[in-house]
Amino acid sequence: MTAAVSASAPGKIILTGEHFVVHGSYAVAAGINRRVRVTVKPSKNGFSSIASGKDSSKVASEDGKFRAAKTIIRKLVQDYEQNSNPIEVQIDSDIPAGSGLGSSAAVSVACTAAITKYFGNIVSSKDLFALAMFGEKQVHGNPSGIDIEASISGGIILFNKSTGAKTIKTQNRVSLGVIYSGEKRSTSLLVAKVARQRDAHPNFFRNLTKSASYQSLELTDALNRGDVERIGTLFNIAQTELEWIGVSTPSIQKIIERVSGEGTYGAKITGAGGGGSIIVAAKPQILSSLINSLIANYPHSFVTQLNQEGLRWEP
């Protein structure tokens, strides 16, 4: 009998360019120190199943659960002609779903890697990206692919839909604060809302898309130098533009006001917005205490360094 295979992949934060990246801009993303682990083993029940926490489902069932992962499992079972070899897929995640921290992409990436290896193949990063995208498209409609790319590679990437990802190096280790508002949201609805804004104000939107590219290139330089103050300034500019396109919410504004003050350089939405999470750049001496002061109200608040490992095999 085939032995169990486990892989894990990190969630991500987007530092600049979310939404505009869907319309062709550059964006910057980084892996975070919160991961998803996926284990694949032979099924004892005669059918393939998938489970996470208390939730479970048959892969053949159309109950709306685990849609991206099921799409990937079905495709791989078909591609590898493994219909008579049912599997049990177990997901263990420390990334809240719907938080804007890339839990869905990390599930798709770790799932694809673990299942292909279980069926006797190690696929290239390019094929892994394509397979994980195939799953994500079922859920998000028109994803740029930045979440998946960041989850595969870890580290920090400068990403563009047409040209792909380039690694960004930092001289100093840069850490940022991450705060989940607790407000879940749907990426696809927010992406559709932004597309309506683009259609209503095409010239304005084109300029914002260009601006997101300039911010991303400037941020790349700030990261190269480890200049946290400039990183924060760029976050504030990006946040203003995200507010203009209507993806900020009162709960996001409240957190941004709460983290603003002595020693904080800037804060913004990370990911699709509409709730979800924010990131904050602050003086290294105050970052941990700032984040600790938020945990009572926002339990998913943490500090992450931007040098996280991407996809990896687990024992």
How many angstroms separate the CA atoms of 157 and 166, rounded? 5
User: Of 31 and 276, which has the nearer Cβ to ligand PMV?
Assistant: 276
β-strand partners of 5? 40
User: Of 59 and 269, which has the nearer Cβ to ligand PMV?
Assistant: 269
198 is a site residue for ligand PMV (CB under 6 A) = no
10 is a site residue for ligand PMV (CB under 6 A) = no
CA 100 to chain centre: 6
Pick one of 7, 15, 22, 231: the residue that binds ligand PMV (CB under 6 A).
22
Question: Helix/strand/coil (H, E, C) string of 10-69?
Answer: EEEEEEECCCHHHHCCCEEEEEEEEEEEEEEEECCCCCCEEEECCEEEECCCCCCCCHHH
Are 209 and 197 in contact by the 8 Å Cβ rule? The answer is no
96 is a site residue for ligand PMV (CB under 6 A) = no
How many chain residues touch ligand PMV (CB under 6 A)? Answer: 16
What is the dihedral sign for C-alpha 96, 101, 104, 109?
negative
How many angstroms separate the CA atoms of 163 and 208, rounded? 20
147 is a site residue for ligand PMV (CB under 6 A) = yes
154 is a site residue for ligand PMV (CB under 6 A) = no
287 is a site residue for ligand PMV (CB under 6 A) = no
Pick one of 8, 9, 15, 18: the residue that binds ligand PMV (CB under 6 A).
18
Reading the block at residue 192, the tokens are 């559709």
271 is a site residue for ligand PMV (CB under 6 A) = yes
Instruction: Select which of 55, 63, 147, 227 is catalytic.
Output: 147
Binding site for ligand PMV (CB under 6 A): 14, 18-19, 21-22, 100, 102, 143-144, 146-147, 187, 191, 271-272, 276
